[in-house]
Amino acid sequence: MTNARDALLTDLNVPAPQLELGDDDTQTLLDLARIAAHESGERTNAPLLCYLVGRAQGDRGLDDVADAVRRSRS
């Protein structure tokens, strides 16, 4: 993952803070990926959901977006 992050920083001039992924964010994304894969029965939905979460996040906190996804399950 470090190589991919470094390529985005270098090739696309993405600011470094936008690509920081702490332990809590990592766990949140992995949980969302688990939800997408297990509930749909399709593992391919995991990266797609994480992509959509990233697109939807904007200035929102990751936890806020994750909570919206989790609420959609009920």
Q: Write the pLDDT tens digit of every residue in 5-55.
A: 888 889 988 888 888 889 999 999 999 999 999 888 888 899 999 999 999
Asked if pLDDT for residue 1 goes beyond 80, the answer is no
Q: Tell me if residue 62 falls in helix, strand or coil.
A: helix
Confidence band of 66 (pLDDT split at 50, 70, 90): very high
pTM (predicted TM-score): 0.78
Residue 73 has pLDDT above 90, yes or no: no
Report the pLDDT value the prediction gives residue 55, as an integer from 0 to 100: 92
The H or E element that residue 13 is part of is none
- C-alpha distances (whole Å) from 17 to each of 12, 22, 46, 72 are 14, 11, 24, 29
